[in-house]
C-alpha cells in the first residue's frame, strides 16, 4: 500500500500518455495520491479533463498561469510530493532533464525538485537507441534517477523494438518498491569516497589514475536513495553530483583524508576511490623546464596516507560498517582477503581492473564480496546495479544488528 504517499506525475507528449489515467487510478487504488502536471504535447494525447477526473484534483499545465501559480507554484508543486514520476518520459524531456533546461512547467518542476524521481521512458526504438538518448539516460542514472522500462514490442509508428512505455501496473510496482526501500537507511550517516586523486608534480602536471568515479558516485546515490544522510568525498571526475548527496570535491589523497575525517562520525563508509599510493616528494612551485640534452631528474616519491586504513583504526570514530574495494590484476580474491585484514575493514569488494575488463572507466563491474565468513561472487552488473545491491546488503546488515 502507498499509505497516502504523494506522487507528482508528469505526463509528457508521447502516444503512451493515453495509459496515464490508468496509472493515476492504480496509484489511488493502492492508497496513494497522484497530482498531475501535463505538458502541452502531453495534452495532445490525453485530456486534462480525463486526468482531473481520475485524480480528483486540478491538472497543472501552465508555468505562467496566475491562478495556478498563486494556488500551487511550480516550486511548491515539486516539493509537495514524496516522489516524482515522469510517464511517459519522452526523448525530449529526458534531454531537458539531463541538460537542466526549464522552459515549461514540467521541466521547471523537475529542475526545482529535491525529491526522488522515477522515469518511464517511451519513444521510437531509433530515438531510444540514439547515442544522445543513451548518454542522457546515463547522466540521469548517475544522478540517482531511477528508470522503469522501456519494454520491447510493436510501436505505434509501426516499427518493432525497445521503446514501449512500461505498463501502468509495472510502473506502480516500481513506485511501491521505491517506497519499500526508500526509508531503510533513514537516520544513518554514510561516507563514500570516489574517483582518482591528483598528486601535483608542478603547477601543470600531476600523477593520477584512470578512475572515472562512476562506481563510487553510484554507491553514494544508492545509499542516499535509501534515506542515508550521505557525504561523497570525490577526487576530480566528470560525474554529476548525485541527488540528495553532500559532495565535497578534493584533489589529493591528503585533501581526501582531511575531508573524510571531517565527515565522521558515520555508520557506513565505502572507500571506492582509487587513491594514489604515492605523491611527488617535492611539488615544484613553477613549471619544471626541460633542459635540452640533459636527462630528466629522477622523481622522489613519498607515501600517501591510507584513508581506508586510517578509518579502520579510528577508535571510537571508526565507521560502524567499513567497506573497501580491492583493485587487482591477478589473484583477485586472495589479494582482497589479505587487504581486508591489513586495512581493518569489514567487507572488501574485489574487482579485476586488468585493462581488458574495462572496469576502470567502464559502465559495468564484476565484484566479489569478501567478508570474515567467505566470498560471494556477484554476476557482471552495471555499476548502478552493483551500487543498489551493495546498498541493499548494507541495509540488511544494519537491520539485522539493530
C-alpha to C-alpha distances, 394 to 243, 265, 286, nearest whole angstrom = 20, 17, 46
CB 248 within 8 A of CB 264: no
Residues forming a β-bridge with 250: none
Q: Using the rule CB under 6 A, give the single segment among 29-37, 89-97, 184-192, 267-275 that binds ligand PMT.
A: 267-275
Chosen residue from 2, 222, 272, 322 binding ligand PMT by CB under 6 A: 272
Residues 201-240 interacting with ligand PMT (rule: CB under 6 A): 211-216
Q: 203 is written with which cell numbers?
A: 603547477
Cis peptide preceding 42, ω within 30 of 0: no
Name which of 123 and 256 has its Cβ closer to ligand PMT: 256
Of 30-38, 124-132, 155-163, 352-360, the segment contacting ligand PMT by CB under 6 A is: 352-360
| Active site (annotated) includes residue 157 | yes
Nearest 5°: phi and psi at 15?
-55, -30
Tell whether residue 307 is a contact of ligand PMT (CB under 6 A).
yes
Contact map string, positions 274 to 293, toward ligand PMT, x by CB under 6 A: xx-x----------------
With respect to ligand PMT, which residue has the nearer C-beta, 79 or 393? 393
Binding part of the chain for ligand PMT, among 154-162, 171-179, 227-235, 322-330 by CB under 6 A, reads 322-330
**Of these, 36, 81, 308, 322, which contacts ligand PMT (CB under 6 A)?**
308
DSSP calls for 279-346: EESS--SSPPPPPTTSPPPPPPEEEPP-HHHHHHT-GGGS-SEEEEEEEESSSHHHHHHHHHHHHT-S
**Percent of the chain as helix, strand, coil, to the nearest 5:** 40, 25, 40
**Helices 105-112, 91-99: crossing angle, 10 deg rounding:** 40
- With CB under 6 A as the contact rule, the residue among 61, 167, 306, 352 that binds ligand PMT is 306
- Interface with ligand PMT: number of residues (CB under 6 A): 30
Using CB under 6 A as the binding rule, the residues of this chain from 235 to 264 that contact ligand PMT are 253
Q: Which is nearer to ligand PMT, 108 or 231 (CB)?
A: 231
Closest CA to 322 of 298, 334, 339: 339
Backbone angles phi, psi at 307, to 5 degrees: -70, -45
Catalog residues that contact ligand PMT under the rule CB under 6 A: 193, 211-216, 253, 271-275, 277, 304, 306-308, 324-327, 339, 343, 351, 353, 359-361, 383
Amino acid at each position: 500500500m502507498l499509505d497516502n504517499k504523494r506522487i507528482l506525475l508528469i505526463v509528457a507528449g508521447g502516444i503512451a500518455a493515453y495509459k496515464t489515467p490508468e496509472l493515476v487510478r492504480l496509484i489511488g487504488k493502492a492508497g496513494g495520491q497522484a497530482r498531475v502536471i501535463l505538458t502541452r504535447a502531453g495534452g495532445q494525447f490525453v485530456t486534462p479533463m480525463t486526468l482531473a477526473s481520475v485524480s480528483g484534483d486540478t491538472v497543472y499545465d501552465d508555468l505562467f498561469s496566475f491562478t495556478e501559480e498563486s494556488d500551487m507554484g511550480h516550486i511548491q508543486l515539486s516539493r509537495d510530493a514524496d516522489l516524482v514520476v515522469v510517464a511517459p518520459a519522452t526523448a525530449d524531456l529526458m534531454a531537458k532533464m539531463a541538460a537542466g533546461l526549464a522552459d515549461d512547467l514540467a521541466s521547471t518542476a523537475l529542475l526545482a525538485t529535491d525529491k526522488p524521481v522515477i522515469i518511464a521512458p517511451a519513444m521510437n526504438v531509433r530515438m531510444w537507441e540514439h547515442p544522445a538518448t543513451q548518454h542522457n539516460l546515463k547522466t540521469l542514472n548517475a544522478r540517482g534517477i531511477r528508470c522503469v522500462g522501456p519494454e520491447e514490442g510493436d510501436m505505434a509508428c509501426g516499427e518493432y523494438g525497445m521503446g514501449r512505455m512500461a505498463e501502468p501496473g509495472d510502473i506502480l510496482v516500481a513506485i511501491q518498491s521505491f517506497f519499500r526501500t526508500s526509508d531503510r537507511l533513514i537516520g544513518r550517516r554514510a561516507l563514500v569516497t570516489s574517483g582518482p586523486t591528483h598528486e601535483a608534480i608542478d603547477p601543470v602536471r600531476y600523477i593520477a589514475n584512470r578512475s572515472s568515479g562512476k562506481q563510487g558516485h553510484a554507491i553514494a546515490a544508492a545509499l542516499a536513495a535509501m534515506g542515508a544522510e550521505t557525504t561523497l568525498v570525490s577526487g576530480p571526475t566528470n560525474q554529476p553530483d548525485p541527488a540528495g548527496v553532500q559532495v565535497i570535491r578534493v584533489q589529493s589523497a591528503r585533501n581526501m583524508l582531511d575531508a573524510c575525517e571531517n565527515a565522521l562520525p558515520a555508520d557506513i563508509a565505502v572507500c571506492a576511490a582509487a587513491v594514489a599510493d604515492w605523491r611527488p616528494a617535492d611539488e615544484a612551485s613553477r613549471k619544471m623546464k626541460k633542459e635540452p640534452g640533459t636527462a630528466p631528474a629522477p622523481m622522489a616519491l613519498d607515501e600517501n596516507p591510507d584513508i581506508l586504513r586510517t578509518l579502520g583504526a579510528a577508535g571510537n570514530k571508526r565507521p560502524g560498517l567499513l567497506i573497501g574495494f580491492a583493485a587487482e590484476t591477478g589473484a583477485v580474491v586472495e589479494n582482497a582477503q589479505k587487504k581486508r585484514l591489513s586495512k581493518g575493514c569489514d567487507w572488501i569488494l574485489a574487482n579485476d581492473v586488468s585493462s581488458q575488463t574495462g572496469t576502470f572507466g567502464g559502465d559495468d563491474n564484476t565484484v566479489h564480496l569478501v567478508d570474515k565468513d567467505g566470498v560471494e561472487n556477484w554476476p557482471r552488473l552495471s555499476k548502478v546495479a552493483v551500487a543498489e545491491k551493495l546498498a541493499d546488503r548494507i541495509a540488511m546488515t544494519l537491520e539485522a544488528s539493530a
